[in-house]
Amino acid sequence: MKEDILNFIKYQLKEHCGRTVGVVIGFIIAVSVLLIGFFSTLFIIICVGAGLFIGNKIDKGDSEFLDNVIYRLQRLLPPFSRRW
């Protein structure tokens, strides 16, 4: 029984990867909306998206982007909270 389920999951991921990932993400979002509410879920999705975007830029080695983010943070934060 356990092997049948694992074989089914492997088949789905191999043959229908996009659909399977979409269903899993949709299910997670639906459960999140039911448990913590729409706006909290939306906030989490936005934070994850921003983190993914920034992490992708850092992984690609875009130093100009990173310098720009640090510069904007320094301008945004008050002088007493600058620790770097």
Q: Are 45 and 53 in contact (CB under 8 A)?
A: no
pLDDT of residue 52: 83
End-to-end CA, the chain: 56
pLDDT of residue 83: 58
Q: Over range 67-76, report the average pLDDT.
A: 83
pLDDT of residue 80: 65
The amino acid at residue 24 is V
pLDDT of residue 51: 84
Q: Note the pLDDT tens digit of each residue in 8-65.
A: 988 988 888 888 888 888 899 999 999 999 999 999 999 988 888 877 877 787 778 7
pLDDT of residue 49: 87
